[in-house]
Amino acid sequence: MSGLLAGKRLLVTGVITDASIAFSVAKLAQENGAQVVLTGFGRMSLVERIAKRLPEAAPVIELDVTNEEQLAGLADKVREHVDGLDGVVHSIGFAPQSCLGGGFLSAPWEDVATALHVSTYSYKSLAMAALPLMGPGGAVVGLTFDATKAWPVYDWMGVAKAGLESASRYLALHLGAKGIRSNLVSAGPLRTMAAKSIPGFEQFEDAWADRAPLGWNLTDQEPAARACLALLSDWFPATTGEIVHVDGGYHALGA
């Protein structure tokens, strides 16, 4: 095999449709020489159909990142398809509707706890579940949305992303001794299924299209996916705890 990820074995979470960033990651990874295993949750038949649209049909493992039993069994499930892992992609986020769209002040703790469990704590949970399969040179890469600011309508998901960004730094700290890196890609707004579930998300879309120095294509997941692949590759061997912005430069501007 040839390519940036030749011989790499990757676990990619979060593929729901072929408009998912995770789908673009899996597709480009295969095109660059990697073996890919996917995880799905809920509508498994849908994920399995989407997996067949990749250049090479990828196996799909059911994984609820809040289910301790499934997390404990993940390594064995992955070993049915590959003999180890060189990289893990965390593309998972969820918040109940009460936590979005202006509900910051009224969302109950039970819903906030769900958002934090799925969107923040799961980054550590997934990394630890995959750890028995990983060795020096391995990488964990997650996806965030700039959590240095308070965004209209993003509310508790913004808090969850801030936690994710901190969790990645702590994972970098604790896994560094094992030679495993942890980095995030901060993508601009994209018209994914997750984005469509956020009331008022079009406010982000209009702002980015108008103000990003490089411009911004709301339907092109490939730039974010390419950044993920770079961080999974051997070209960033001494980079960890980092957040790479793939947002057309929007984050660099003042208000």
Question: Given a cut of 70, is residue 1 above it in pLDDT?
Answer: no
More confident: 160 or 194: 160
Query: How confident is the model at residue 193, as a pLDDT?
Result: 62
Phi, psi of 91 (to 5 degrees): -125, 60
Using CA of residue 75, residue 129, residue 143, residue 181, what is the dihedral sign?
Answer: negative
pLDDT at 255: 59
Residues making up the chain, counted from first to last: 255
pLDDT bracket for residue 177 (50, 70, 90): very high
* Opening angle at CA 207, ends 113 and 253, nearest 5: 90
pLDDT per residue as tens digits for the range 87-133 = 999 999 999 999 999 999 999 999 999 999 999 999 999 999 999 99
**Average of per-residue pLDDT across 176-191:** 94
**Given the DSSP bridges, would you call strands 60-62 and 35-40 parallel, antiparallel or unpaired?**
parallel
pLDDT top residue among 211 and 139: 139
Cβ-based neighbours of 194, under 8 Å, separated by 6 or more: 16, 93, 94
**How buried is residue 104: exposed, middle or buried, by Cβ count under 10 Å (0-12/13-18/19+)?**
middle
pLDDT in tens, 192-243: 766 666 666 777 777 788 889 999 998 999 999 999 999 999 999 999 999 9
Calculate Rg over the CA atoms of the chain: 17
Could you list the active site residues? Answer: 154, 161
pTM (predicted TM-score): 0.94
Query: H/E element holding 72?
Result: helix 68-79
Rounded distance between C-alpha atoms, residue 139 and residue 175, angstroms: 10
Query: What pLDDT, on a 0 to 100 scale, did the predictor assign at position 195?
Result: 61
Q: Which two three-digit tokens encode residue 20? A: 């998912």
CA angle 226, 231, 235 (to 5 degrees): 105
Mean residue pLDDT across the chain? 94
Instruction: Please give the pLDDT value at position 179.
Output: 98
